């Protein structure tokens, strides 16, 4: 029993690893601040392109969404970070992660927004257009506010996934939470830093998950 505690919940080791893990946490937060708004915005553009009057654009978007929903994000990330240099394009780990997440998340968020837009009856668009609002104005002021409200749980749920997926950045040596904890593990020969990282993810995401459940229940899906 004591051995177990020493290996996984070693307070001394955790204290020693804390500065490293803390820096990792800050990097994860920074990554989220970059990647979540980018994905939300990219997804919005994808969803709006989906409703555009031009067939070629809608078609492009369908292909885009299909491709990036099918490619595993890890493969995409390694391709961008380690594959593109063969074409002379060299990106920092942070830039590579941001781009990979933008491409991937825009597809997922885009599908969520699209479901939201489709949940709004066409009478709303018609009423708005009949008063002279342009298609874009009607989208902005009438459709999207209602659509986003309808899919708020899905947006939040996807955002939780995104936060978890930022740990993928460790494979391109971006020193985020998981990478830093794993580094501390390899230095200390002890699993406690990894446990600490897991507890930190839990501490951040558990309240959000709780909130999400309540939101879902309240919206009575």
Partner 1 sequence: MDGSVSSVPRSLPSDAGRPAEAVLQISDLHMAFGDLEVLKGIDLSVAEQELVFIIGPSGSGKSTLLRCCNRLEEPNKGTIIVDGEEITAPKANLNKLRQRIGMVFQSFNLYPHLTAQANVTLALRKVAGKSRIEAREIALAALDRVGLSDKSDSYPNELSGGQQQRVAIARSLALQPRVMLFDEPTSALDPELVGDVLNVMQDMKEGGMTMLVVSHEMRFAMNAADQVVFMDRGVIVEQGTPDRIFKHPEHQRTRDFLGKVAH
Coil, strand or helix: which one is 39?
helix
Q: Taking the complex as a whole, how short is the minimal distance between the CB of residue 138 and partner 1, in angstroms?
A: 9
Residue 112 · residue 151 · CB < 8 Å: yes
Cβ-based nearer residue to partner 1, 88 or 122: 122
Q: Does 54 bind partner 1 (CB under 8 A)?
A: no
Number of residues that bind partner 1 (CB under 8 A): 18
Residue 79 · residue 110 · CB < 8 Å: no
Q: Taking the complex as a whole, how short is the minimal distance between the CB of residue 129 and partner 1, in angstroms?
A: 7
Distance of alpha carbon 33 from alpha carbon 152, whole angstroms: 19
Distance of alpha carbon 168 from alpha carbon 48, whole angstroms: 29
Over the window 95 to 124, marking each residue x when it contacts partner 1 by CB under 8 A and - when it does not, the resulting string is --------------------------x-xx
Over the window 170 to 189, marking each residue x when it contacts partner 1 by CB under 8 A and - when it does not, the resulting string is --------------------
Cβ-based nearer residue to partner 1, 20 or 124: 124
- Could you tell me the sign of the dihedral formed by the alpha carbons of 117, 120, 126, 130, in that order? negative
Cβ-based nearer residue to partner 1, 132 or 220: 132
Q: Taking the complex as a whole, how short is the minimal distance between the CB of residue 60 and partner 1, in angstroms?
A: 25
Please give the backbone phi and psi of residue 124, each rounded to the nearest 5 degrees, phi first: -65, -45
Q: Taking the complex as a whole, how short is the minimal distance between the CB of residue 116 and partner 1, in angstroms?
A: 13
Cβ-based nearer residue to partner 1, 60 or 124: 124
Q: Taking the complex as a whole, how short is the minimal distance between the CB of residue 100 and partner 1, in angstroms?
A: 35
Distance of alpha carbon 14 from alpha carbon 17, whole angstroms: 5
Q: Taking the complex as a whole, how short is the minimal distance between the CB of residue 142 and partner 1, in angstroms?
A: 5
Q: Which stretches of the chain are DSSP H helices?
A: 2-8, 11-50, 55-70, 73-78, 93-118, 122-130, 135-138, 144-150, 152-165, 177-188, 192-218
Cβ-based nearer residue to partner 1, 53 or 88: 53
220: left (phi over 0), alpha (psi -120 to 50) or beta: left
Cα-to-chain-centroid distance, residue 84: 22
Footprint (CB under 8 A) of partner 1, residues 120-149: 121, 123-124, 126-134, 137, 141-142, 145-146, 149
Which residues bind to partner 1, rule: CB under 8 A?
A: 121, 123-124, 126-134, 137, 141-142, 145-146, 149
């Amino acid at each position: 029993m004591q051995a177990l505690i020493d290996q996984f919940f070693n307070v001394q080791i955790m204290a020693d690893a804390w500065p490293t893990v803390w820096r990792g946490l800050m990097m994860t937060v920074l990554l989220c601040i970059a990647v979540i708004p980018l994905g939300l915005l990219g997804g919005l553009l994808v969803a709006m392109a989906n409703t555009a009057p031009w067939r070629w654009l809608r078609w492009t978007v369908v292909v885009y969404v299909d491709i990036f929903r099918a490619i595993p994000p890890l493969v995409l990330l390694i391709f961008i970070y380690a594959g593109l240099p063969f074409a002379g394009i060299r990106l920092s780990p942070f830039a590579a992660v941001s781009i990979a997440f933008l491409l991937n998340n825009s597809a997922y968020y885009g599908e969520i927004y699209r479901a939201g837009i489709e949940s709004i009856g066409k009478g709303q668009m018609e009423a708005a257009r009949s008063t002279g609002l342009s298609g874009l104005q009607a989208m902005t002021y009438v459709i999207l506010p209602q659509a986003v409200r309808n899919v708020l749980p899905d947006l939040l749920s996807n955002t939780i996934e995104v936060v978890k997926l930022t740990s993928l950045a460790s494979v391109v040596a971006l020193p985020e939470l998981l990478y830093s904890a794993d580094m501390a593990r390899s230095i200390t020969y002890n699993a406690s830093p990894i446990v600490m990282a897991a507890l930190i993810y839990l501490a951040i995401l558990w309240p959000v998950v709780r909130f999400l459940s309540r939101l879902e229940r309240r919206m009575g899906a």
